[in-house]
Amino acid sequence: MKTSSFHSSHARVDQAPKDGRPEFAFIGRSNVGKSSLINMLAQRKELAHTSGKPGKTQLLNYYLINDSWFLTDLPGYGYAKQSKKTRSKWEKRMENYFLKRQTLVSAFVLIDSNVPPQEIDLEFVNWLGEHGIPFVLAFTKTDRRKAKDGAHVAAFQERLKEYWEELPPAFLTSAVKEIGRDEVLTYVESALNT
């Protein structure tokens, strides 16, 4: 990643950039470490804002990378105080985004490697799979003690095998230890070139 800059924020997918640049979307449970991972990939302290208030950013945030592709920071899901109404609103907006955004190359679904498989993550991943939306997994915070033996990562993969024959590519990442940067960026480059 040579250059990165904030491009634009949008409430709705039909307002998103129409210049046809390919796009990779980052999404995950609130507090999963999405902003930290984006900043680590960009090697910037504050490209994405790590927010103290989960669920506050309900916008689609576009970052332009290397003048050639968009990294899209999507609103997180599953924060503690989320009401049913908020959740169904989020679901509608994300459905809209994923079903309509033709320039999307792949989604990065972030999964916290420190906790056992969460139903809300499995539901989301399965929804993407059922709709044929390309995605990969990025396990976050692998530097933390509870992640060290890889048990939660393995358990998540096992749960996915209940539904899918083929598992999506998965990356182990840590924003703190800068783990997984080369692997993620190499994947992006190769996806852009195919």
Q: What is the binding site for ligand GDP (CB under 6 A)?
A: 30-36, 50, 76, 140-141, 143-144, 174-176
Between 39 and 106, CB nearer to ligand GDP? 39
Tokens encoding 87: 């959740």
DSSP strands (E only) in the chain: 4-10, 23-28, 60-65, 69-73, 104-112, 135-140, 170-172
What distance in Å separates the CA atoms of residue 70 and residue 52, rounded to the nearest whole number? 25
Between 64 and 180, CB nearer to ligand GDP? 180
Q: How far is the CB of 67 from ligand GDP (least distance, A)?
A: 25
Q: How far is the CB of 38 from ligand GDP (least distance, A)?
A: 8
Q: What percent of the residues of the chain are helix, what percent strand, and what percent coil, each to the nearest 5?
A: 35, 25, 40
Q: Is the dihedral of CA 102, 129, 132, 84 positive or negative?
A: negative
Between 35 and 72, CB nearer to ligand GDP? 35
What distance in Å separates the CA atoms of residue 2 and residue 24, rounded to the nearest whole number? 16
Q: How far is the CB of 77 from ligand GDP (least distance, A)?
A: 10
Q: Residue 194 in 3-state DSSP?
A: coil
Between 4 and 33, CB nearer to ligand GDP? 33
Phi, psi of 72 (to 5 degrees): -105, 125
Tokens 């949008």 appear where?
Answer: 10
Q: How far is the CB of 156 from ligand GDP (least distance, A)?
A: 17
Tokens 């970052």 appear where?
Answer: 63
Q: How far is the CB of 185 from ligand GDP (least distance, A)?
A: 16
Tokens encoding 3: 């250059």
Between 103 and 118, CB nearer to ligand GDP? 118
